[in-house]
Amino acid sequence: MAEQTSPVRVTYDYVTRTIARTLGTPSRGYFLLLGAAVALLGVGVITLLFLLRYGLGLAGYSHPVYWAVFITCFVFWVGIAHSGTLISAILFLFRSGWRTAVYRTAEAMTVFAVMTAGLFPLIHIGRQWYFYWLIPYPNERGLWPNFKSPLIWDEFAIGTYFTVSTLFLIMGLIPDIAAVRDLATGWRKKLYALTSIGWTGSNEQWRHYTRGYLYLAALATPLVLSVHSVVSWDFAMALVPGWHATIFAPYFVAGAIYSGCGMVITLLTPIRRLFGLEEIITVKHFENLAKLCLLTGSIVGYAYVCEYFIAWYGGNPNERAAFWYRAFGPYWWATWTMIICNAFLPLLLWIKKVRTNITALFVISIFVNIGMWFERYVIIVVSLAGEPYEPWANAVYNPTWADWGIMAGSFGWFFMWFLLFVKNFPAVSISEVKEVLAPPRSKASKAHV
Amino acid sequence: MYCHYSAAVSSEPGIPALQTCIGCHQLIGGSTPSHQAEIKKVRDAWRERKPPEWVRVHALPGFVRFPHMRHIKALGAQSCATCHGEVQRMPQVTQVSTLRMGWCVRCHLAQTPPVTRDCSVCHY
Amino acid sequence: MTESVDRRRFLKVLGVTGAGAAALSACGIGPEPTERLIPYLVQPEDQIPGTATYYATTCRECAAGCGLRVRIREGRAVKLEGNPDSPINRGRLCARGQAGLQGLYNPDRIQHPLVRNANGTFDDIDWDGAIQRLAAKLREAQGKGIVFLTGAEQSSFGDLVDEWMKQVGGRRLSYEPFGFEALRAGNRMTFGTASLPSYDFGNAKYLVSFGADFLDTWLSPVEFQNGFSQAHAFDAGRPASMAKFVFVGPRMSLTGMNADEWVAARPGTEGTLALAMAQVILSQHLARVPADASRLVSVLGAYSPSAVAQAIGIDADTIVRLAREFARSGGGLAVAGGMATQYANGAEIVAAVNILNYVAGSVGSLIKFGADLAIGSTNTFADLTALTSDMTNGRVALLFVHGTNPAHTLPGAFQQALGKVGYKVSFSSFMDETAAACDMILPDHHALEQWGDSRPRAGVTALQQPVVQPVFDTRPSGDVILKLSGKTGTFQDYLQGKWRTRHPKDFDQYWFDSLEKGGIYGEAPTRTVRLAEGVAKIGFGALAAPAVPDQQVIVFPHPALHDGRGANKPWLQELPDPVSKIAWHSWVEVHPDTAAKWGLATGDFLLLKSSFGAQKFPAWITRSVRPDVLAVPTGQGHTAYGRYAKDRSANAFELLGGEATTYGGRSFIVGATATKTGEHRRIVTTEGSPRERGRGTVEVLGLARAKALHPGEAPFHHEETPEYASDAVAWWAERQHEQAEIGNYKGEQPRWGLAIDLSKCTGCAACVTACYAENNIATVGEELMQRGREMSWMRLERYWLTDEHGEPQGAVNSPMLCQQCGNAPCEPVCPVYAAYHTPDGLNGQVYNRCVGTRYCSNNCPYKVRYFNWYNYAERGGQYEAFPEPLSMLLNPDVTVREKGVMEKCTFCVQRIRGAQNQARLENRAVKDGDIVTACQQTCPSEAIIFGDLNDKRSQVYELAGNPRGYHVLAGLNTKPAITYLARVVAQDTPSHG
C-alpha cells in the first residue's frame, strides 16, 4: 500500500476501531435496505406458495422450454459464489496481500450466494415435496438416485462447496470476533464470546490457526474450478444444440469468477461508503478486482467467439441453426446484451482511469451482473426454444410474474443475509489487514514479501 | 375363491355381490352371538335389497397394478394367505403385510428364479 | 346391459373398483382415507371386475354408420374401437368416432326433461308430466301442422317417426347441413337416378377428386380412407402400385394434402376441367368408350383444353396430361364433392365428372349403383327452406327436433322462424341452439345408451345396442314416441319387431348373431346405368367461373367439429386441424399474396361481411388456398351447446345465404368484403416449423426411385460415426452391450417396436384422439394450448411438399411420438430413475417416481415428453380436464398423472402387460398381433404396425427391414424403436422443406 497516501495514518488501533465501528448501532439507511430485502423475500415466498398450490404452470414455461428463469437464477447465483473462494483461498495461497481487505465480504457473499442458489433446484422441480428423493438415503423401497445424472453431481458439488466455504468463513472470523468481543457489550458480547470459541490470540493458537487456515485454503482451491465445471455439465452433458460443447467447463468457471468479482465490487462500494472504510478498502483493491474482471471477462469473450466459430466450423446444421437463432432470432436482444456486457464492457478496464474510478467500476459491475444473468438466460432458454433437432417442436417463451417473483425473492434472501452479516460480524478481516500493515516497530512488514 | 371369484382370472379380485354372501349365509347362521349379529346384518341387507358398505382393508395406491391372477397362477390357489394372512382364522380381517414396495420387491427377489423387479411391471 | 343396481349406487361402485384411474395422491404422505366398498346387489354375469368386456354397436357421430366395439370396464364405457366385422370401417375409427365417448359422459348433457315456464326460463319436469303435457299439445296441434325434424335417420327410428307422423297427420323432414343435393341432381341429369353410388377407392389406379374431401368429411370417410390407402400407398409387392392422386379445388384440405398433384382450378370451373378431360379422352380415343357416349361428342366439342384452360386457370397441356394419365391408368376414378358440389353450379359439375367417369369406363366398375349410400335420401336444403317459410307463416303448430341443430347451421332464418312456431319440442340431450329455443326438451339417451339401428348403405344394416347404464334421467326418444302414439312396449320391442319381419324363423339366434357381429352385412346387387336422354341438353354453359365482385369466401366443414356437432367435445376441440394445425378457434385462410396486399399478419382479425351476415376471423396465412379465395371452417361460434362450445370464436354459417340453389342444395361459396379490424390474437396452433429443412425428420422418395429399391438397400442409412471415432464408439457399444446383459436385461426379452408407413398416413389424426382416450391424457384448453402446454403424446407433424416454384403440392404427415430409443438420451439424465430402460426395450416412465426436474425433456431430441404444469385431474380446479361425469371414461388401467409429473407415450404399456398377463394365464407366449396399440387399432389407413423387433416372424420386423425404412434423427445414434417408411410421391423430384 505504498502508493496509497492517506490523510490519517492507518495503524493497528485505527483498523480495529474503524472495523468495529461497522458493528455499531445501525443507521436508518441500513434498516431501509434490510426492510427492502425482507420485502423482496416476502414476494418470493408468496410466489412459492402459489407454485406449490397450483403448480409450475404459473411460470412462463412452454413446450419445449422446460428450463427457464429458475435455472438461470440458479446458475447465476452459483456463479456469484465463485470469486469468494477464489479471493480468499487462491489469492491467499499466492500470498497477494491486497486480498485481505476484501476477502471477508467476498466469502460472506459466497456463502449466501450458495445458500440462494441451493434453493432453486428445489423450487423448480415439479413435485417440490419429493425433493428428498434426490438425496441418497437408505429407504424401504431400496431405491437410490441415479448417479449418472449430472443433477446428482450438482447436488454434491454445491453441497461440498457450501460446507467448505462456510467453514472457511467461520474460521477466518475467529480472531476478528475475538477482537470485537473485547470491545462489545451486552448480548453481542455473549454471542462473540461463544463464536470466538475462546480465542485468546496466544502464539500457540496463532500457529495452529495459520496452519489450519493454509490447509483449508489448499482444500478449497480445487473447488473453485470443480463446482462450476460440474454445473456446466448439466448442460454440456445434454445433446441440446448450444449446450453440448466441451468448452463449457472453463467457460463457465471464467464466467463465474467474472460475475463474482462484479458482485464483490457492487457490494463493496456501498459498504465502503456506508462504513467509512475508505482507508482500509482502498482504490488499490478495487483496481485489482477490476483487473481480475478484465482477465476473466476476456476469457468469457474468447469463449463466445469460440462457441460461434465451432458452431460454424463443426458444420453441424443444428448447431449452426441454433447459433444463428441466438444472434438473429427473436431473442437477439438478450444475446447482444450478454455479448456487450460481458465481452466488450470489460475492455474499458484496460484504461487505468476507469479502473481507478470507483463510480465507473460500480456502474460497470452492475452491467457485469446483468450481462452474466443474460448469459445464462440465453444459454438455457434460447437454446431450448429456438432450434431443437425436431423442427416442428419450437416455441417462443415469455416469463411471467411467477418467474420474476421467485427471482426477486432470491435477491431478497441474499441481501437479507448479507446485510445481517455485515452488521453483526466484521465485514473486513481485522487481523489480516493488520498483517499487511507496517508494524509500529520498524521491521520488514509482510506486505512487501 | 368362491367369494372373490375373479381373483384367479382377473387383475381385480372383485367385491362379492350380496347375492353371493347370502348364497351361504342363508344357511350358515354363525355359532357365537357375535357371529350371528354380523351375519344378521347381511341377511337384513339382502331383505332390504340394500348392499352393506364394507370397509376397505387392503388398499394399494392408484399408481400400482397388482394383477391377482398372475400371482395366483404362480403361487397356487392357496396363496392368498401369503399377502392377506389367514383370513379364515381372523375374527375381524386386518392387514397383515405392509403392502409397501420394498415388501413386494423382497418377495419378487426371494422367488427362484427371481421375479423381475422392472418398475413398469407394476407402475404404468 | 343387465338389470343391475340403480345409477347412483352404480357410480359409487365404479368409484372404488375403478381405483386404477385414481389420481396420484397429492402428497403421497399420510394414511389413505378409509375407503368404503359398495358391492353389487346381484353380480352382473357379463362383468368380471378388472377385465374389459366388449360390445358391438354402431357409431352415430355421423351418417356413415361405422361399426363399434365398446370396451366396458366395471360398467363404464372406457374406449371406442372399430368393429372389424363391419364392412364400412373394417375395425377402424376416426377422431370423431373416438370422441363419441365424450358425448356420452359430457358434463353438459341435459340430465332430465325441461319445460319452458312463463318467464322464459326452463323448469325441471318429470317424464310422465312432460309426456302428458305434450300429448295435450299434440291434440291441439292436430291438423294445424305438425313437423318432425330429424338428422340423417335411415333407421327403424326414422320409420317409427314416419309412422307416427302419418298417424297424427304430420310430416317428417331429415336435414344434414352438408347435404348431397348436387350429387343427386347431377346423377339424375346424367344417369337418370338420384341415388348415391358406392365408390371403390381400393381398386382405383388413378384418383381425381374434384373438391371431395373423402378422407375427412365426405360421405363415409373411414371407409374411403381405408380404400384410399390401399390404392395410394406404395407397396413394392404390387406391380404398378400406388395410384396417383390429383386434387382439384381452390383450397387444399386434408384430402388435398395427400394428393400427388394439386390443381387449384378457379372456383366453379372444376366441371369444366372434367369435361375437357373427357373431351380429350373421346377425341384421342384414349379409352374404350361406351357406345352411347357418342351422344356426348356434340356437348364436349366446346370444351377442348385450349378453349377452357384460360377459364380454369391452368395451361392446356396439364389438362391433356391429366386426361392421358387418367384414361391410360386403366382404372381412373373421379369423384365430385365437397366444395365443388356446393357452388351454384354444383349439379352441373357433378354431371361433368360423371361424364368423365363414364367415358373412362369407370361407371359400373369403380362406381357401383345399387349399393347406394342411404344419406342420399335425406331431404334437401330446399325442403328445409320450405319448412322455414311454413314456420314463418305460422303453418307449423308443433315442431319436433331430433338429432340436428338447424338454429346453428341456419342461424338467421331458422332462428326467427322458430319464434313463429306454436310449440317446439327438442329431443336433444345437449342444450344446443335449437334446444335452447324450444319450449320443451325431452333429452334422448346417448346412442351408446339405447337400442337402434342404421342403414348406411343398401345391404348393410348396423345394429345399435345399449352398452352402458343411462348416465342421467334421460329416455330413448323411441320410447317417448311410442308412448305418445299410444302404442305399448318399448322401442326395443319395436326394433326387434321390425327385425323379426326380416327374418322370422329362429329369430332369437339371428338376433343374437346380429348383436354379436354388430349388424347384418350383405352385398346389394349392382345395377348398370346408362346415360340419360337429357344428357346432351345439360346447360354446361354455366360452367364459366361465376364473376363475383368481392372476395370469394369458401365455407368448408371442419374435419373434427364438422357442422359444429363436435364442438362440445374437448378431445375434438383440442385436436389440431390437420391442415392449419389450429385448435379451439376458427380462422380464415389467406394466401400470402393477398395478405401482403392487405398488410395482414397471421393472427390479425378479418371482418368478412357478406350480404347475409358478418363475422370476424383471425387470419392464417398459407399457400394452401388460392389467392382469390378466402376459406373459413364451420364448427365454432356456438351461442349455446355447453361449456366447451359456447361463445367460442365465430360461426361461419352466419355468412351463408338461406335460400336453396337451383338443384335444391345450399351454396357454400359467398361473395364478401374483407376488412382488417385491427384486432389481433395469438393463434392457437401446434405448428412449429412448417418446413422440415432436411433435418431427417421425414424422408420422401419419387415413385420411380422407390420402385427401383431392392431389398437390403438402405437409401436413408446415415453414417452415424465418423471414421476417426469408430473404434471408440465400437468399444463403447461393447460396454453398453455388456451392461445390457446384467440382471433384468439378460435373457430373451422382446424389443417392442413400431413401423409407421408415411405413404399410408394421411394425417387424419384419428390416432391422436385414440391416444387421448386410451391414456387418460388431459385436455388443457385454449389458454394453455396457446402457451404450448398441450399434452398430446402423439402429434402429427405436417411438412409441406412444394414444387419447384415453392407452391405446396400436398404435405407429408409424420406422427411423432416417443421413439422408445434403444440408447435413450432421456434415461441417464433422470436423477431418480423415473425415466429408465425396461428389459423389453421401452423407455419406461414411472409417474409416481418422477419429481419433475424436466431434464429428460430437455435432452429428448424428439421433444415428445409432456409435463403436467397443473393438476388437470383436480376436482373443480381451474384447468380440470375430466369434470364429472367425464371422469367416467378414464381408463382404469392407466394412472392419471398429477401436477409436476412428466408423461409420455409408452407404446400403451398397459396393453402390453395385459396381453402378457393373458398369455401367461393361457400358458402360452405372446403372439404377434396380440398387442395392438391404441393408435394402430384406430388408424383408418392402417399405417401403424406394432410388434416385437426380436421376433423374426413379426410383421414389424419385416417392415423394419424395408428399404424405405429410416429412423428419425438417426445421426444422433439414439437407436429408435420406431421405423418410418418414407413417403412416396408420384412426381419423381420431390422436394420437402
For C468-527, give the DSSP string.
S--SSS---HHHHHHHHTT--S-HHHHHHHHHHHH--TTHHHHHHHHHHHTEEE-PPPPB
pLDDT class for A441, splitting at 50, 70, 90?
low
The stretch C244-257 carries a mean pLDDT of: 94
Mutate to test the interface with B, among C745, C746, C848 (most CBs of B within 10 A): C848
C569 pLDDT more than 50 = yes
Peptide bond into A330 cis (omega under 30): no
Contact of B105 with chain A, judged by CB distance below 8 Å, is answered with yes
Rounded Cα–Cα distance for residues A335 and C642 (Å): 47
pLDDT class for C27, splitting at 50, 70, 90?
very low
Cβ contact, residue pair A55, C868, below 8 Å = yes
Domain that holds residue A244: 2-130+165-435
Residue C611: how many CB atoms within 10 A of its CB? 12
In chain A, residues 357-386 whose CB comes closer than 8 Å to chain C: 384
In sequence order, what E strands does C134-250 have? 146-150, 171-174, 196-199, 206-210, 244-248
CB pairs < 8 Å spanning A and B = 10
CA atoms within 13 A on the CB side of A131: 12
Residues linked to residue C56 through DSSP beta bridges, in sequence order: C69
pLDDT class for C619, splitting at 50, 70, 90?
very high
Mutate to test the interface with A, among C692, C718, C849, C853 (most CBs of A within 10 A): C853
Q: Which chains touch A (3 or more CB pairs under 8 A)?
A: B, C
Q: What is the mean pLDDT of chain C?
A: 89
Supply C912's cell numbers.
402390453
Mutate to test the interface with B, among A127, A133, A141 (most CBs of B within 10 A): A141
A72 pLDDT more than 90 = yes
Model confidence pLDDT, tens digit, residues C787-835: 999 999 999 999 998 888 888 888 999 999 999 998 899 999 999 999 9
CA–chain centroid gap for B39, Å, is 19
Q: Map residue A274 onto helix, strand or coil.
A: helix
Q: Using CA coordinates, name the residue in chain A closest to C968.
A: A390
Rounded Cα–Cα distance for residues A342 and A256 (Å): 11
Mutate to test the interface with B, among A139, A140, A146 (most CBs of B within 10 A): A140
- Our CA angle for C293, C298, C300, nearest 5°, is 75
In sequence order, what E strands does A209-362 have? none
Longest dimension (CA), chain B: 52
Q: Map residue C595 onto helix, strand or coil.
A: helix
Contact of A64 with chain C, judged by CB distance below 8 Å, is answered with yes
Cβ contact, residue pair C691, A133, below 8 Å = no
Is A446 part of any domain?
A: no
Cβ contact, residue pair A391, C689, below 8 Å = yes
Residue A399: how many CB atoms within 10 A of its CB? 17
Q: Report the percent of chain C where pLDDT is more than 90.
A: 70
- DSSP assigned state of C582: B
Torsion over CA: C592, C594, C600, C605 (sign) = negative
Chain C residues whose CB is inside 8 A of the A239 CB are 825, 859, 861, 972
Model confidence pLDDT, tens digit, residues C351-370: 999 999 999 999 989 999 98
Contact of B56 with chain C, judged by CB distance below 8 Å, is answered with yes
In chain C, residues 23-82 whose CB comes closer than 8 Å to chain A: 27-29
Whether C482 and C475 have beta carbons less than 8 Å apart is answered as no
Rounded Cα–Cα distance for residues B101 and A6 (Å): 72
C45 pLDDT more than 80 = no
Residue C442 backbone zone (phi > 0: left; psi -120 to 50: alpha; other: beta): beta
Whether C138 and C422 have beta carbons less than 8 Å apart is answered as no
Least confident residue range of A91-95, A234-238, C815-819? A91-95
The pLDDT, as a whole number, for residue C24 is 39
Chain A residues whose CB is inside 8 A of the C857 CB are 63-64, 66
Residues 6+ apart with CB under 8 A from C610: C553, C655, C656, C657, C670, C671, C672
C11 pLDDT more than 50 = no
Q: Map residue C667 onto helix, strand or coil.
A: coil
The closest alpha carbon to A248, from A262, A230, A261, belongs to A230
C990 pLDDT more than 90 = no
Mutate to test the interface with A, among C718, C786, C860 (most CBs of A within 10 A): C860
Chain C residues whose CB is inside 8 A of the B20 CB are 43
Rounded Cα–Cα distance for residues A87 and A261 (Å): 9
The stretch C482-510 carries a mean pLDDT of: 92
Supply C39's cell numbers.
358391492
pLDDT class for C239, splitting at 50, 70, 90?
low
Model confidence pLDDT, tens digit, residues C580-599: 999 999 999 999 999 999 99
Is A423 part of any domain?
A: yes
Model confidence pLDDT, tens digit, residues C898-938: 999 999 999 999 999 999 999 999 999 999 999 999 999 99
In chain C, residues 803-842 whose CB comes closer than 8 Å to chain B: 833, 836, 838-839, 842
Look-up of cell digits 307449423: C396
pLDDT class for A11, splitting at 50, 70, 90?
confident
Mutate to test the interface with A, among B101, B106, B118, B122 (most CBs of A within 10 A): B101
The closest alpha carbon to C361, from C338, C329, C337, belongs to C329
The pLDDT, as a whole number, for residue A4 is 44
Contact of A142 with chain B, judged by CB distance below 8 Å, is answered with yes
CA atoms within 13 A on the CB side of C69: 17
Q: Using CA coordinates, name the residue in chain A closest to C899.
A: A55
Q: Which chains touch C (3 or more CB pairs under 8 A)?
A: A, B
Chain B residues whose CB is inside 8 A of the A142 CB are 102, 105
Residue A201 backbone zone (phi > 0: left; psi -120 to 50: alpha; other: beta): left
Chain C residues whose CB is inside 8 A of the A391 CB are 688-689, 691-693, 695, 697, 993
Model confidence pLDDT, tens digit, residues C927-966: 999 999 999 999 999 999 999 998 899 999 999 999 999 9
Is A221 part of any domain?
A: yes
Q: Which of C744, C920, C921 has its CB closest to that of B118?
A: C744
The pLDDT, as a whole number, for residue C135 is 95
CA-based nearest distance A145→chain B, Å:
14
The closest alpha carbon to C434, from C289, C307, C558, C563, belongs to C563
In chain C, residues 716-775 whose CB comes closer than 8 Å to chain B: 744
Residue C220: how many CB atoms within 10 A of its CB? 23
Per-residue b or e along A59-75, where b marks 16 or more CB atoms closer than 10 Å to that residue's CB: bbbbbbbbbbbbbbbbb
Contact of A95 with chain B, judged by CB distance below 8 Å, is answered with no
Is A449 part of any domain?
A: no
With residue C691 as reference, give the H or E element that holds it. none
The pLDDT, as a whole number, for residue A1 is 38
Supply A389's cell numbers.
433437432
Whether C822 and C852 have beta carbons less than 8 Å apart is answered as no
Cβ contact, residue pair C847, B6, below 8 Å = no
Residue C429: how many CB atoms within 10 A of its CB? 27
Structure-model confidence comparison of residues B12 and C27, the more confident one = B12
Chain A residues whose CB is inside 8 A of the C790 CB are 63
Is A141 part of any domain?
A: no
pTM of the model: 0.93
Cβ contact, residue pair B15, C24, below 8 Å = no
Number of domains in chain A: 1
Is A50 part of any domain?
A: yes
Cβ contact, residue pair B120, C895, below 8 Å = no
A241 to A326, A330, C798, C947, C974: CA distances (angstroms): 11, 17, 23, 33, 15
For C347-405, give the DSSP string.
HHHHHHHHHHHHHHT-BTTTEEEEEEEGGGGSPPHHHHHHHHHHHHTT--SEEEEES--
The closest alpha carbon to A303, from A256, A251, A233, belongs to A251
The pLDDT, as a whole number, for residue A442 is 47
The closest alpha carbon to C764, from C620, C940, C933, belongs to C940
Mutate to test the interface with B, among C35, C918, C926 (most CBs of B within 10 A): C35
Rounded Cα–Cα distance for residues A116 and A75 (Å): 10
The stretch A235-255 carries a mean pLDDT of: 92
CA-based nearest distance C1→chain B, Å:
17
Rounded Cα–Cα distance for residues A436 and A430 (Å): 10
Residues 6+ apart with CB under 8 A from A253: A82, A224, A225, A228, A229, A232
The pLDDT, as a whole number, for residue C14 is 38
A447 pLDDT more than 50 = no
Contact of B16 with chain C, judged by CB distance below 8 Å, is answered with yes
Contact of A141 with chain B, judged by CB distance below 8 Å, is answered with yes
Contact of C825 with chain A, judged by CB distance below 8 Å, is answered with yes
CA–chain centroid gap for A438, Å, is 32
The pLDDT, as a whole number, for residue A176 is 85
Residues linked to residue A376 through DSSP beta bridges, in sequence order: none
The pLDDT, as a whole number, for residue C4 is 38
Structure-model confidence comparison of residues C280 and C22, the more confident one = C280
Least confident residue range of A283-287, A348-352, C221-225? A283-287
Rounded Cα–Cα distance for residues C185 and C170 (Å): 27
The pLDDT, as a whole number, for residue C740 is 66
- DSSP assigned state of C970: G
B78 to C122, C237, C338: CA distances (angstroms): 60, 55, 65
Rounded Cα–Cα distance for residues C981 and C812 (Å): 12
Model confidence pLDDT, tens digit, residues A105-122: 888 999 999 999 999 999
The pLDDT, as a whole number, for residue B117 is 86
Cβ contact, residue pair C871, A124, below 8 Å = no
Per-residue b or e along C901-923, where b marks 16 or more CB atoms closer than 10 Å to that residue's CB: bbbbbbbbbbbbbbbbbbebbee
The stretch B84-90 carries a mean pLDDT of: 89
Is A243 part of any domain?
A: yes
Q: Map residue C567 onto helix, strand or coil.
A: coil
The closest alpha carbon to A433, from A444, A417, A414, A446, belongs to A446
pLDDT class for A429, splitting at 50, 70, 90?
confident
CA-based nearest distance A143→chain B, Å:
9
Cβ contact, residue pair B124, C20, below 8 Å = no
The pLDDT, as a whole number, for residue C91 is 95
Structure-model confidence comparison of residues A427 and C90, the more confident one = C90
Residue C140: how many CB atoms within 10 A of its CB? 12
Whether C60 and C454 have beta carbons less than 8 Å apart is answered as yes
Cβ contact, residue pair B56, C21, below 8 Å = no
Rounded Cα–Cα distance for residues C53 and C886 (Å): 20
Model confidence pLDDT, tens digit, residues C423-445: 999 999 999 999 999 999 999 99
Whether C86 and C457 have beta carbons less than 8 Å apart is answered as no
Is A154 part of any domain?
A: no
Rounded Cα–Cα distance for residues C676 and C690 (Å): 25
The stretch C751-779 carries a mean pLDDT of: 95
Contact of A237 with chain C, judged by CB distance below 8 Å, is answered with yes
- DSSP assigned state of B116: P
In chain B, residues 47-66 whose CB comes closer than 8 Å to chain A: none
Model confidence pLDDT, tens digit, residues C673-709: 999 999 999 999 998 877 777 777 899 988 888 888 8
Least confident residue range of C372-386, C387-401, C755-769? C372-386
Least confident residue range of A322-326, C32-36, C916-920? C32-36
Chain C residues whose CB is inside 8 A of the B2 CB are none
Chain A residues whose CB is inside 8 A of the C816 CB are 390, 392
